[in-house]
Amino acid sequence: MRLSTPNLQLNAQGKLRHFLTLEGLKHHHLMEILEVANTFIDPVTHQISKVPNLHGKTIMNLFFEPSTRTLTTFEIAEKRLSADVVNLNIATSSTKKGETLLDTLWNLQAMMADVFVVRHSESGAAHFIAKHVAPHVHVINAGDGQHAHPTQAMLDMFTIHKHKGDIFDLKVAIIGDIQHSRVVRSQIQALSILEAREIRVIGPKTLMPSHPQALGIHVYDNIEEGLEDVDVIINVRLQNERMKSALLPSEKEFFNLYGLTKQRLNYAKPDAIVMHPGPINRGVEIDSAVADGEQSVILEQVTYGIAVRMAVMTIIIENAKQLMAGSLSSALQEETP
Amino acid sequence: MRLAIENVRIIDPSQNLDKISNLYITRGRIFSISDTLPDGFNASQTLDGTGKWLLPGLIDLQARLAEPGSHYEGDIASETKAAVAGGITAICCPPDTRPVNDNQAVTELIQRRARQAATAFILPIGAITQNLEGKMLSNMAALKNAGCIALSQANQPIQNPLTLKNAMQYAASNDILLMLRCEDAALKNKGVAHSGVISSRLGLAEITASAETVALARDLILAEETGVRVHFSQISTAKSVEMIADAKKRGLPVTCDVAIHQLHLTEYDTLDFDSLFHVSPPLRRHEDKEALRLGVKMGTIDAIVSDHTPLDRDVKLLPFGESQPGISGLETLLPLTLKLVEEGVFDLNTAIRSLTTGPANILGIQNGSLTTGLFADFSVFEPEAYWTLSRSEMISQGDNSPFDGWEFNGQVELTYFQGRPVYRNNPI
């Protein structure tokens, strides 16, 4: 099987150069992100303080698709790392022609950008950009089409890790629109790399991937069966478009069949946690009583998102420095007989 | 001019011929194939073909020549040069030109430009409906009379079954061949990749196999009802092969072809979002590729085509789903087909037949043969030449080939069209 994606995002030392997807990454890559993220959170106050890690670096947030939450957390993370931040909201319509998209990138690159944080409505857009940028520029995927949203998935792993410790041995159930969700694709990949015991997805077949076996997941049509004995429940936002394209009859029917209620929560382990990458549709995929309940960790996820994004950017910049130092020292060694 | 090519392995499936002999040509036409010099034949030029193959000029049922259209993507002169470099001397060009070939004026323009280029035989395919919109019929009989070899909808199949049925009835009463791509637009939706394990992993919008087979089932039923002669273009699924084999067994006058890239590539090739692998229909499963290969071997699939689509770099330098589908395939049609012979997928006779008499029989033309009296369209092929495809060295104006870096055994050295040399790699 061809797997050129990991080659694209790893440098010669096998370390992260870009962060495009979790597919193809190793256990240690993910653990490093979780560990570094943890160092940014004050153990007592749970606050994130400012550090000089990316001082002098320019980060450009290229959002070809509108976003407020992801853009905001990236921006906060970048500022806490002391980077210079430029936000660019680029309407996709003005970049329909490839020349323009690449010209835009090359122009921004010439303005001494070190990192592009990219969000785009096409699956594979971050890969495309990573393939065409200069060697010194790093690309971080902030969501591409229905493909991947790796920083979101890593913050979810961080949250699970905080509450449950080692992800190994956990049973995780993801409820809702799996097929159209880049977040879920990345979550599934993260969970399988971290060797979760079982990854279940719950929902009607219209919202399931056509080939779930390719993702190593178990599909449940019935929510009660799917929640039986799980440690972690992840709820996914249901988009309005799904009703328009006849994938579902109505929000009401979805809630009746798959909405996460107090009663259904009882099927999971008593200490199971409830997560949601947001924004929440109360009364559509989750009952308010559960969203705001004891087992919910939804708001924590937002704070951790900043730490995880700081970790990813720090690691990528550090790896580049090490690679540079490595090639310098080997060049020096070659010169001295 | 009287040309003799001696001691060459002549492969001509139209005459069940595969032997070392001599080919004699006079006044642009085949004089004879004979082991000895025919009486009264004085060659003005003699070529030694020892160790080489002589193949009939190949026929490509689907190649876009980008004219009329954007000159960035090539024109008839540039693309026919690419064709003859690949041993192809007869080309059917689909009607999705700009403007669409839905009237005599466009057909005549294509023919005029083809005559000016004079490097290959161009057979325009007219549009079934006006502007390929699938609504109003074009002047189908007029297009036929102007020289369109068949009518098609290129990659924009008629969605309304009644319109299709009417087109079929009208075509049947005028003895017009219809070449149909099968694709249900609603099932295809916004899909860009086969609905399979790779699209599930990459989150690419999916095209199910049923987007093809549902349309094929409809088209087969309507073809049977109307009695029209139908050729199915670029089938891509195992189920389609099965359905067409069944239709043929029942005696329906249907034929089909496959694009050569479908016999080599699968959904796995799209794994790193490389837009060069974005084609329509999409690259399918390994099982589909195997079934298509078997379909050629068993004769269910009558022809192999290039589905040549030269594209400007700009429309490929985009994220996968935003890029335009298509491969620049004229130069790789023969090499990729012969690669399958090397791999033991089917024999050499089947390979050459799929590129010569197979398509000729579909169209009802005599080309693709070395029969005495026909125009001398042929190529001399050096089976021992090893070469690597490089996009930067492609002759076509479009360098959008996913086969960059592929290694091939054997190369066309010399191509003749109507008795004149139109391509020369290394002089023999």
pLDDT < 50 positions in chain B: 427-428
pLDDT band at residue A3 using 50, 70 and 90 as cut-offs = very low
Asked, as a colleague might, if the bond just before B281 is cis with ω within 30 of 0, I would say yes
Find the range with the poorest average confidence among A286-300, A315-329, B177-191.
Answer: A315-329
Q: Please tell me if residue A119 touches chain B, with a CB cutoff of 8 Å.
A: no
Q: Please tell me if residue B33 touches chain A, with a CB cutoff of 8 Å.
A: no
Q: B-chain residues within 8 Å CB-CB of A215? A: 200-201
Task: Specify whether A284 is located in the same domain as A316.
Answer: no
Task: Specify whether A138 is located in the same domain as A276.
Answer: no
* CB interface of B with A, residues 205-264, below 8 Å: 205-206, 208
Distance CA A332, CA A316 (A): 24
What pLDDT is attached to residue A86?
A: 94
B379-389, pLDDT tens digit by residue? 999 999 999 99
Task: Specify whether A234 is located in the same domain as A271.
Answer: yes
CB-based burial of residue B56 (10 Å sphere; 0-12 exposed, 13-18 middle, 19+ buried)?
A: buried
Alpha carbon B296 to its chain centroid, in Å, reads 14
Q: Please tell me if residue A3 touches chain B, with a CB cutoff of 8 Å.
A: yes
Task: Specify whether A72 is located in the same domain as A164.
Answer: no
Domains and CATH numbers, chain B: 2-55+374-424 (2.30.40.10), 75-363 (3.20.20.140)
- Partnered with residue B407 across adjacent β-strands are B388
CB A54 within 8 A of CB A83: yes
What pLDDT is attached to residue A148?
A: 97
Sign of the dihedral through C-alpha A99, A104, A105, A109: positive
Q: Please tell me if residue B200 touches chain A, with a CB cutoff of 8 Å.
A: yes
Asked, as a colleague might, if the bond just before B99 is cis with ω within 30 of 0, I would say yes
A336 domain residue, yes or no: no
The closest alpha carbon to B287, from B324, B241, B330, belongs to: B241
Residue A208, C-beta contacts closer than 8 angstroms, at least 6 positions apart: A178, A179, A201, A219
Structural element, H or E, at residue A139: strand A138-144
The closest alpha carbon to A63, from A15, A121, A24, A19, belongs to: A121
The closest alpha carbon to A26, from A151, A192, A139, belongs to: A192
A183-233, pLDDT tens digit by residue? 999 999 999 999 999 999 999 999 999 999 999 999 999 999 999 999 999
A125-174, pLDDT tens digit by residue? 999 999 999 999 999 999 999 999 999 999 999 999 999 999 999 999 99
**Catalytic (active site) residue B272:** no
A81-95, pLDDT tens digit by residue? 999 999 988 765 455
The closest alpha carbon to B252, from B198, B216, B284, belongs to: B216
Q: How many degrees, rounded to 5, is the angle at CA B405 between CA B403 and CA B407?
A: 90
Look at strands B206-207 and B29-34 and give their pairing: unpaired
Angle of the A150-164 helix axis to the A298-335 helix axis, nearest 10: 110
Look at strands A218-220 and A232-235 and give their pairing: unpaired
A312 domain residue, yes or no: yes
Asked, as a colleague might, if the bond just before A337 is cis with ω within 30 of 0, I would say no
Task: Specify whether A143 is located in the same domain as A220.
Answer: no
Task: Specify whether A100 is located in the same domain as A123.
Answer: yes
pLDDT band at residue A121 using 50, 70 and 90 as cut-offs = very high
Task: Specify whether A186 is located in the same domain as A266.
Answer: yes
**B200, B202, B315 member nearest A98 (Cβ):** B315
Q: Please tell me if residue A146 touches chain B, with a CB cutoff of 8 Å.
A: yes
Residue A2 confidence (pLDDT) above 50: no
Instruction: Supply the DSSP string of B182-250, one letter for each residue.
Output: ---HHHHTT--EESSHHHHHHTPPEE-THHHHHHHHHHHHHHHHHT--EEE-S---HHHHHHHHHHHHT
Task: Specify whether A136 is located in the same domain as A160.
Answer: no
Inter-chain touch A146–B204, beta carbons under 8 Å: yes
A335 domain residue, yes or no: no
Nearest CA in chain A to B317: A98
CB B324 within 8 A of CB B251: no
Inter-chain touch B268–A213, beta carbons under 8 Å: no
ipTM associated with this complex = 0.91
Residue A337 confidence (pLDDT) above 80: no
Q: How many CB atoms lie within 10 A of CB B147?
A: 15
What pLDDT is attached to residue A335?
A: 56
Inter-chain touch B318–A213, beta carbons under 8 Å: no
Inter-chain touch B197–A214, beta carbons under 8 Å: yes
Which structure tokens are listed for A126? Answer: 């971050």
Residue A101 confidence (pLDDT) above 80: no
Inter-chain touch A146–B203, beta carbons under 8 Å: yes
Q: Please tell me if residue A8 touches chain B, with a CB cutoff of 8 Å.
A: yes
CB-based burial of residue A124 (10 Å sphere; 0-12 exposed, 13-18 middle, 19+ buried)?
A: buried
Instruction: Supply the DSSP string of A167-212, one letter for each residue.
Output: STT-EEEEES--TT-HHHHHHHHHHHHTT-SEEEEES-GGGS-S-G
The closest alpha carbon to B234, from B206, B260, B196, B267, belongs to: B260
Q: B-chain residues within 8 Å CB-CB of A127? A: 272-273, 319
Distance CA B415, CA B420 (A): 8
Nearest CA in chain B to A187: B201
Q: A-chain residues within 8 Å CB-CB of B195? A: 210-211
Structural element, H or E, at residue A315: helix A298-335
Distance CA A167, CA A191 (A): 8
Rounded to a whole number of angstroms, the distance from the CA of B13 to the nearest CA of chain A is 38
Rounded to a whole number of angstroms, the distance from the CA of A334 to the nearest CA of chain B is 34
Task: Specify whether A155 is located in the same domain as A290.
Answer: yes
CB A304 within 8 A of CB A162: yes
| Active site positions of A, annotated | 69-70, 97, 119, 149
Strand order in the sheet with A232-235: A218-220, A198-202, A171-175, A232-235, A273-275
Structural element, H or E, at residue B178: strand B178-180
Structural element, H or E, at residue B363: helix B357-363
What pLDDT is attached to residue A246?
A: 87
Look at strands B17-26 and B29-34 and give their pairing: antiparallel
Q: Please tell me if residue A316 touches chain B, with a CB cutoff of 8 Å.
A: no
A52 domain residue, yes or no: yes
Sign of the dihedral through C-alpha A39, A160, A179, A253: negative
Task: Specify whether A92 is located in the same domain as A126.
Answer: yes
Which structure tokens are listed for A231? Answer: 């440690």
Distance CA B288, CA B239 (A): 8
Which structure tokens are listed for B268? Answer: 């796995």
A109 domain residue, yes or no: yes
Q: Please tell me if residue A122 touches chain B, with a CB cutoff of 8 Å.
A: yes
CATH code where residue A258 lies: 3.40.50.1370
At residue A62, φ and ψ (nearest 5 deg) are -100, 100
Residue A116: domain span: 5-148+302-330
Task: Specify whether A11 is located in the same domain as A108.
Answer: yes
How many domains is chain A partitioned into structurally?
Answer: 2
Please state, in angstroms and as integers, the Cα–Cα distance from residue A280 to each residue in A239, A298, B31, B313, following that order.
11, 9, 80, 42
Task: Specify whether A126 is located in the same domain as A27.
Answer: yes
Distance CA B241, CA B128 (A): 25
